[in-house]
Structure 1
Amino acid sequence: MSRIPVPFRRLLTPVVLAGALLGSACGSSDGDLGPDSRLEQSLVTNFTDTVVLPTYQRLATRLTELDASVQALRNEPTQARLDAARAAWFAARVPWEQSEGFLFGPVDSERYDPALDSWPVNRTDLDAVLASGDVLTPSYVRNLQETQKGFHTAEYLLFGDGGTKVPADFAPRQFEYLTAITAELKAVGDALAGAWTQTKDGKPPYRETLTTAGQAGNAAYPSLQSAAQEMVGGIINILDEVANGKIAAPYDAKDPDLVESQFAYNSLSDFTNNMRSVENVYLGHLSDTQAQGQTLRDVVGVDSELDVKVRAELAASIQALAAIPEPFRESIRAPAAAQRIEAAQAAINTLKRTFESQVLPLVNR
């Protein structure tokens, strides 16, 4: 069967981001945006400290909690322990999916993204690991193919098909594999959060790289404009992935094996949290925090016609996703759901075009 190479987003990123940043060729190349620039240094500082760092810290904490809950399940395989482990998996998905509006920096360069979230998984490959005689340590798991580890392998082992697995279904070998995976997830989550706040191998924390955009010697971001473009490009990229990858690929093929988070019936929650990621980047804060500096919304103009449009299209995208019946893996083959699925795609693509054609030019000036 034809399958999507994974992680799917790695196919989208070069094309979408290149198109998103094309307008930068019209901007200044020396880091001076001129007197008409709308950008302030606090744009990148606020984004980093109020959106990125709390999201990654929350992810690291929840992956630690997932690992602990899975260890507890292995020690005492009861339904209550299984329910707790599944709840911890769901909880960890939230900050991860809400980070996908900024899949740049260490998450990309250090390949933490594919280590955490490659999909779709191949059940035959997973069963081959279980059938092998290899000792399933975290270091062994670290060297497996990306689709044999991460969130979705843990999902497969925890939930079975649609959450039908019960404690008696777990073989000792499955617990060995599952605990090795969650230990590795915990390690990756810690490394990702640390990459933004700690020096590693002589490299400064990525927080320092991003928040000093436009300052002398910053080769990664020679101007504030280049950092703002990265932010808007991340938004455009995830909108494209959700509409034209996560939704379109399985829907067009009518293939449930291409659905993200299909075993836990969590697909639509994932997509919605991707929209929340866009919202967080645009507003410059999480739902439980306040912005501490300039935001993309400020660049657009608070309560301007474009700001009202962006926020309305965001709300429409979230509402359209909520109208699709879960499980998404079944809805893709249900004629009654087709119109709702296509409406969600259209809503998200409309928002994407708004960012491409109206928001991006504001940071390209």
Structure 2
Amino acid sequence: MKFKYSAIAFSLIMGLSACGGSGSDDTAPIVPDDSFSFVATEMITNLTNEVIVDGYADLASKGEALFNATQSLINSTSQADLIAAQAAWKAARQPWEQGESHIFGPVDSLSIDPHLDSWPLNTTDLQTQLNRAVGFDAQTIKGWNDDVQGFHTMEYLLFGDGVNDNTKDIAELTTREREYLVALAEVFRDYTKQLDDAWQVSHNPQDTNALPYAELLKQPGTSTNTIYSSQLAVVEELINGMIGIVDEVGNGKIADPFGDSITTADTSKVESQYSWNSLTDFSNNIIGVRNVYQGEYTGSADKQGLIDFVAAADTVLATRIGSEIDDAILKIQAIKGSNDMPFRQAILDVEGRKRVQVAVDALSKLQASLESDMLPLLSDWKTS
């Protein structure tokens, strides 16, 4: 960051220069003033309404579409219906993975994250439910462990085990699997609607007077807001959300299955391995970071995001972080190489592993910038 000096500090410098320097030891040291001013109201409002709320509304809409697509499978013999249900699953995955850049609030307090996205999948218990359960209904499934419901249970039933391919013939889809899928999709739809309602209607389903969580984010410091005491607290939450998912992708989702070498690579740890959707998931996670940074979810232009906060302090840093986000996305997408290699195969391939390491390095560089350069700006911010 370039040092900026206050008017007082600047006058002291000029005064000392005019005196020619007396060599006196009692002159107080001049401390650079890195403080900057930024009014965050517009940025917070935009990020809340047009990134977070719009994203969860999109997820709820796609959750409904996924439920409808699974219902079409009940008596179908058409491969097109299965392909449509697979596409609906992937479509719902996109806003969820992008939303992991701001995975705080109701998604956490209402335990919706584990309900929707627990990993790894417990395939043993899943098979037990298929073999033993008398019937499947949404209310019963909500009482089961999270590792036999949500995204990855549906993924396994829709795409197969993912070992040799990510295709499945509709003739392989048993009656029990179809029934389970429909019930799972109904549960999924209910939870995504609950999450959407928490942001737009009431963040606490047990309290009819509870404000929408969106209002808590947009109105910090009010007497009724017990979660956010100030705009600084909101911005800190947003920055830490970005840091958290960059860390998780680079040091968890990619690094855990990648291992130290081909011999220690473990494909069983690859998330979304059944659909071969892993690289799309990872890139969507960082696209979600870009959404928060740029203030855009569906490409709306000229809206404020965290880039404006950073630029108020240091325009060079603001541009650099934006470039590092874009670079990390491109490096993740490049893991597939020229032959569209899925991540679970790339970690077992010599050239593929080189591309994975390049992506990990890009994510590490971005994480360092967010932690060491962006987060400390909070201490220099003049909020009033």
Task: Report the TM-score, using the length of structure 1 for normalisation.
Answer: 0.87
8 Å contact kept, 1:210–1:227: yes
Query: Which of 195, 199, 221 pairs up with 1:192?
Result: 195
Q: Which moved more, 1:160-169 or 1:102-111?
A: 160-169
Note the C-alpha offset of 1:36.
4.6
| Amino acid of the structure 2 residue aligned with 1:225 | L
Alpha-carbon separation, structure 1, partners of 2:252 and 2:51: 25
Alpha-carbon separation, structure 1, partners of 2:83 and 2:218: 41
The match for 2:320 is 309
Alpha-carbon separation, structure 2, partners of 1:214 and 1:98: 28
Alpha-carbon separation, structure 2, partners of 1:182 and 1:314: 33
8 Å contact kept, 1:44–1:211: yes
Alpha-carbon separation, structure 2, partners of 1:296 and 1:180: 40
- Runs of 4+ with >3 A deviation: none
8 Å contact kept, 2:293–2:322: no
The match for 1:9 is none
Alpha-carbon separation, structure 1, partners of 2:133 and 2:284: 38
CA RMSD of aligned residues (A): 1.6
| Amino acid of the structure 2 residue aligned with 1:168 | A
8 Å contact kept, 1:46–1:291: no
* 3-state secondary structure, aligned to 1:280: helix
Note the C-alpha offset of 1:46.
1.1
1:272-315 per-position Cα deviation (integer Å, ceiling 9, x unaligned):
000110000001112432354x4211111179111121111112
Query: Which of 291, 310, 331 pairs up with 1:280?
Result: 291
Among the aligned pairs, what percent are the same residue? 39
- Is residue 2:345 matched to residue 1:330? yes
In structure 1, stretches of 5+ residues that fail to align are 1-34
8 Å contact kept, 1:38–1:363: no
- Is residue 2:341 matched to residue 1:321? no
8 Å contact kept, 1:39–1:224: no
8 Å contact kept, 1:216–1:222: no
Note the C-alpha offset of 1:133.
2.8
The match for 1:175 is 178
Alpha-carbon separation, structure 2, partners of 1:181 and 1:225: 40
Query: Which of 359, 376, 379 pairs up with 1:344?
Result: 359
Note the C-alpha offset of 1:214.
2.8
Task: Report the TM-score, using the length of structure 2 for normalisation.
Answer: 0.83
The match for 2:308 is 298
Alpha-carbon separation, structure 2, partners of 1:58 and 1:50: 11
8 Å contact kept, 2:307–2:322: no
1:228-281 per-position Cα deviation (integer Å, ceiling 9, x unaligned):
000000000000000001001111141111111100000000000001100000
| Amino acid of the structure 2 residue aligned with 1:306 | L
The match for 2:7 is none
The match for 1:60 is 60
Q: Which moved more, 1:222-231 or 1:303-312?
A: 303-312
In structure 2, stretches of 5+ residues that fail to align are 1-34
Note the C-alpha offset of 1:135.
2.1
- Give the total of aligned pairs: 330
- Is residue 2:252 matched to residue 1:242? no
